[in-house]
Amino acid sequence: MSKQKTTSPAYIIILLILAGEAVFILPFVLQRIFRPTFLEVFAINNVQIGSCFSVYGTVAFFSYFFGGPLADKFKPHILMSVALMLTACGGFYLATYPSLTNLHILYGFWGFTTIFLFWAAMIKATRIWGGKDKQGIAFGFLDGGRGLVAALFGSVGLIIFSLFITKDIELTSLLERQEAFKQVIIYTSVAICIVSVLVFFFLKRLNSSEENITISKSNLTFADFKIVMKIPSVWLLMIIILCAYYAYKMTDVFSLYAKDVMGYDDIESAKVGTYLLYMRPIIGVIIGLLADRTRASLWIVIGFFLMLITSGIFASGIIDDSSTLFFILSIGTMAIGVYSARVLYFATLEESKIPIALTGTAVGFISIIGYTPDIFAGPLMGYFLDAHPGALGLQYTFGVMSIFAGVGLVAAYILYRLPKAKTLK
């Protein structure tokens, strides 16, 4: 009975990593890396792109609730492959440069494809792959690997964008930049289609180890939500993910800070976002290994502490274009804190003894509140950035982040201090 190890082959986690980030490249990663360019070619401002994320987040809010139980009913490879293909179709539409109204509709569509069909299925599949004793490394590989995938997508996208910019970017017309960025979107969409096919045919091997823990359709009732609602760590995880995810959303403005405060051009500022993504796999693996030797909740506490210190530094306004090294060290330390918390919050599901058969339901319930920054973070950041252009607006946004980091630190410490939960029957 003690031999509870996964029978899934190693390539399964590679597929989960690849799919886990590919599905979010179009809604999030492209604008994170190319934010100044994205705003320019779509002729929108920070508040307007924030409102697109709000539509995404609103659809996602309901999708978490219903998509969680869905992941306990259907095979991950089916849900994930369909989600990837539909998301890629949205990418081909994005390449036509739709109006702001249609951009809102597109982000709502992505909220459905990436969350209702995909999110809980991916988390559950990762937990199954990790077994009882390797949750830290499973989620460390997942999030760290996703960071590497995002960095690779970003690097190739940057190369493609540069190839279509035949002269100094400051001398190019808006039409030339639109054409270059269109090629980046198309390349990304084609790549996601390929990942969808790979997931459908090669993620099936996970199913053999899943059969005995999948809830039958007749057993899926509101009673499952009542079970997870009785677990104290579930409520703490809601707060932790809410605060950690808001901090993660702040990585969207790293490239903007590089341009508006440090004086970098569009390509140089995009490189800042891309380079930071390469930290994510390193942090993910290291933190995952450490968590399996200690406790995941301990490293979440450390992550929030680093976020609190560095967000306070940026909010103070002491970093400017004359302190390049301080900028690099501070933004790198913040990334360590953000990625550490992000890597591990679902690794605590095993620490909290949440039944694996209820993983999808628990993830869906936690995510309802945990990922609400998708609704309000974009408009909130956009308000400060547009109302106070330049360094001052960025100081305000980092000041708000410091509040979330402080609240997250308290919740993470309480989770760490909770007695180890007994296994639920």
Q: What are 352-362's pLDDT values in tens digits?
A: 777 777 777 88
For residue 176, pLDDT over 60 is answered with yes
What number is the average pLDDT over the span 388-399? 90
What pLDDT does 6 receive? 44
pTM, 2 dp: 0.75
Specify the DSSP element, H or E, that contains 212: none
DSSP 236-303: HHHHHHHHHHHHHHGGGGHHHHHHHTT---HHHHHHHHHHHHTHHHHHHHHHHHHHHHS-HHHHHHHH
What number is the average pLDDT over the span 240-257? 89
Mean pLDDT, rounded, of the chain? 85
What number is the average pLDDT over the span 62-66? 87
Query: What is the Cα 143 distance to its own chain's centre?
Result: 8
Query: Which is nearest to 342 in space by CA: 405, 403, 269?
Result: 405
Q: What are 73-97's pLDDT values in tens digits?
A: 888 889 999 999 999 999 999 999 9
What pLDDT does 70 receive? 84
Q: What are 377-393's pLDDT values in tens digits?
A: 888 998 998 888 888 99
What number is the average pLDDT over the span 113-119? 93
What number is the average pLDDT over the span 220-243? 83
What pLDDT does 3 receive? 43
209 falls in which pLDDT band (50, 70, 90)?
very low
For residue 215, pLDDT over 70 is answered with no
User: How many Cβ atoms are within 10 Å of 245's Cβ, its own excluded?
Assistant: 23
What number is the average pLDDT over the span 317-322? 85
Q: What are 2-42's pLDDT values in tens digits?
A: 344 445 678 899 999 999 999 999 998 898 788 888 999 99
Q: From CA 217, how far away is CA 226, in angstroms rounded?
A: 17
What number is the average pLDDT over the span 314-327? 87
What pLDDT does 1 receive? 37
All domains in the chain, ordered by first residue: 11-207+222-417 (1.20.1250.20)
Query: Which is nearest to 418 in space by CA: 244, 245, 231?
Result: 231
Percent of the chain predicted with pLDDT > 90: 39
What pLDDT does 423 receive? 41
Residue 261's identity, in one-letter code, is V
